[in-house]
Chains A and B, each alone.
Chain A
């Protein structure tokens, strides 16, 4: 009895403080109606703000396109469109790219953006960047300034990948006078600038008053970081944030089913959830065993069980937003009898070492039970991500099966590296990739289709599903990016209806 009394008393106290807090903040916002801001929940906070020397998706997600801009960017359909370059010309030998730059662009520091900055930024990739992705721009021979608003990039050989890389963080334009403290003070040409950073909590971006393009309709955006998915869901339910950038557990979506309060946006990503098989050691150095795995998995059932049916079945390492996408789900239809036949009546015992991430744990349970039905006994061993998984599976290759979401865009090339943890080794695949990069766009598309088919036929891995992009927002928030296929979470169109 007394205990209940205390609960009620505590509740009364809480409600009382809540009420006075509520009115004071309500009054504040109504007196300045034009001061529009939004807060968006994310899971991973950047360790620092320098994506030239620190790995991780969180930094470009926050800063690319929003604070830093490149000459080009990816649109929602995966097409490369102009940004700081108004247009560009490619020479007939496809080795010279001439970019016509916008003339009215300034960095947030006030310095004008010119062809010198293009040369500076691309040279810096070679000299100062610390990450392996910088090798994507090894194909650049030199960058020259023709005049202030024309930059000419010479390639060593024709490369389709070059312009695409320019749409990623590699193509971000830096000011010659703005790179002294990249980890804390980003200087870019984008519609937003860094306002404040409360470490462990949030980053605030403010609208850039001197932005060259369409000025953002919001005065500020707060990126709030949550380590816990439930905490993030609660924040949206209670009005602490306006948008969940990526839903961590699709089954939690039913909390947001009320259309008078919330909206859900579902699109695609570049994230292939791969059931990787170690191609270099028994049993999966045998193509038949790998094929058996592919036949043994009922992908539709897996997606329904593990990820509430959200996502898309793909069948190879290409998302539908790439031009060379083909539906390869028919290559290995669910056929447990055929799987058993390929195994020749043998039973296998394998180690499934997975990262301790929700999608991997959920998928692994289903994979285990489906494989068991054809005689493959998989022992699940969750490893702490990233440190343990990186060390054991990725670096040492000590695993038979693993499950991880490969989020990098256009990342089919990882199968061409036989030291990569798949340990897949087929020279034919590497040749197709090389000729795709050097050939015309049409050739690129044709070759990469062949490459994706080869991967699928070889059963180099199994592709469980394409990770969905699931955004939940308050009703009235507009301009949410449906597909998450670029590295950034693009805030430029975000707005709030009055």
Chain B
């Protein structure tokens, strides 16, 4: 197990470093000069040149990369071209908001998928179970932003029950915080829930066909009891893997959902950064997102090991 952990950690560090190079290279390929965008159409060439020097974008790409990546290693993300303030604190503020959004979406997805998927598996021979898998198939086809727009239309515009967008920090007003997050959570969670439902269903179905479950039933447990006691842990192994992949998808979905619901999270920061050619900021945000995805995969792999004794 320890050896496995060390190996996986080494892979994690190496992939993060490679990601850094790739992210930087892509930013360098992005057309548009940050200094020109910052100063707009009314800038003098001298002012643009001075700003380029101030940003350090007049230097060789390699020097810029080493500077940036060296800074990252001790937690310094650099200074934003556009706001002239340090990038690190901006990212950590926004990361908190996005994390709450993604985790909430995950909770909603699980709350839908685990009972529904299990139910659909247990009753896979009756029409209700079939209906659940059919409906979840439809849910998979709906992108999160579309779900968001529909939810806003129903619950905010028509019912006037919830705000259509905006974000209230929990410290300011916990009730409003919850209200501002319900629709975004739902729009992320419903779609992911539909995806997960199918995985839960097939995982539980597989487990139900296992010999040990038949034995348990033969020993007098009801089929639900047997599943509950012996089946779900085993069914959770493939589901955890998918969960990790889904978490990464949720993170991407959150970028879009933040725009629909006007939530100042990482996605919002990222899109602003791209539009304003605030390259250091964009690099920083993308690195954080990449690192998050890599970390999630790492955790999934480790969890997989813990859940399945055969791998140890």
Contacts and interface: CB of A to CB of B under 8 A. Distances in A.
A239 B160 contact: yes
A14 B157 contact: no
Contacts of A54: 38-39, 82
Nearest to A200: B264
B65 interface: no
Given A15-B159, A391-B32, A131 B164 contact: no
Interface stretch (B10-18, B41-49, B66-74, B232-240): B41-49
Nearest to B157: A237
B161 A47 contact: no
Interface string A1-44: 11100100011001101111100110000000000000000000
B175 A20 contact: yes
A224 B165 CA distance: 11
A235 B183 CA distance: 14
B39 A14 contact: no
Query: B interface, how many residues as a size bin?
Result: 35 or more
Contact of A2 (B90, B131, B262, B272): B131
Contacts of B43: 55, 130-132
Given A48-B84, A130-B39, A391-B31, A240 B161 contact: no
A55 B43 CA distance: 8
A173 B148 CA distance: 45
B38 A234 contact: no
A132 B166 CA distance: 36
Contacts of A18: 155, 159, 161-162, 179
Contacts of B268: 200, 227
Interface stretch (A103-111, A279-287, A337-345, A382-390): A382-390
Given A48-B83, A394-B41, A17 B116 contact: no
B44 A183 contact: no
A231 B164 contact: yes
Nearest to A129: B47
B271 A227 contact: yes
Contacts of A25: 176
A156 interface: no
Contacts of A183: 83-84
B178 A240 contact: no
Interface in B191-240: none
Contacts of B152: 234
Contact of B42 (A17, A131, A226, A239): A131
A237 to B, nearest CB: 5
A198 interface: yes
A225 B131 CA distance: 43
A48 B38 CA distance: 11
Nearest to B167: A201
Interface in B41-66: 41-44, 47, 50-51
Contacts of A146: none
Interface string A215-235: 000000000111110110011
B248 interface: no
Contacts of A225: 262
A347 to B, nearest CB: 32
A47 B41 contact: no
A131 B137 CA distance: 56
A133 interface: yes
Query: A interface, how many residues as a size bin?
Result: 35 or more
Given A17-B182, A228-B259, A390-B37, A240 B165 contact: yes
Given A10-B186, A18-B161, A238-B163, A130 B41 contact: no
Residue of B119, B139, B268, B271 with most chain A CB atoms under a 10 A cut-off: B268
A390 B41 contact: yes
A124 interface: no
A87 interface: no
Interface string B249-267: 0000000000111101000
Contact of A201 (B39, B41, B262): B262
A199 interface: yes
A231 B82 contact: no
A318 B261 CA distance: 39
A56 interface: yes
Given A55-B38, A387-B277, A231 B32 contact: no
A63 to B, nearest CB: 16
B149 interface: yes
B262 A199 contact: no
Nearest to B159: A15
Interface of B: 30-33, 36-44, 47, 50-51, 82-84, 90, 94, 112, 116, 119, 128, 131-132, 135, 139, 149, 152, 154-157, 159-167, 175-176, 178-179, 182-183, 186, 259-262, 264, 268-269, 271-272, 275-277
7 nearest A-B residue pairs (beta carbon): A387-B32, A55-B40, A200-B264, A18-B161, A234-B164, A132-B42, A47-B82
28 contacts: A2-B128, A3-B132, A6-B112, A11-B154, A14-B183, A17-B178, A17-B182, A18-B161, A25-B176, A55-B39, A55-B41, A133-B42, A199-B90, A200-B94, A200-B268, A200-B269, A201-B262, A226-B262, A227-B268, A228-B262, A231-B164, A231-B259, A237-B156, A237-B157, A238-B157, A387-B31, A391-B31, A391-B33
Given A200-B94, A201-B167, 18 more contacts: A2-B128, A2-B132, A18-B155, A20-B175, A21-B176, A21-B178, A24-B175, A25-B176, A55-B42, A132-B44, A227-B272, A228-B259, A231-B165, A231-B262, A237-B164, A238-B157, A240-B164, A390-B32
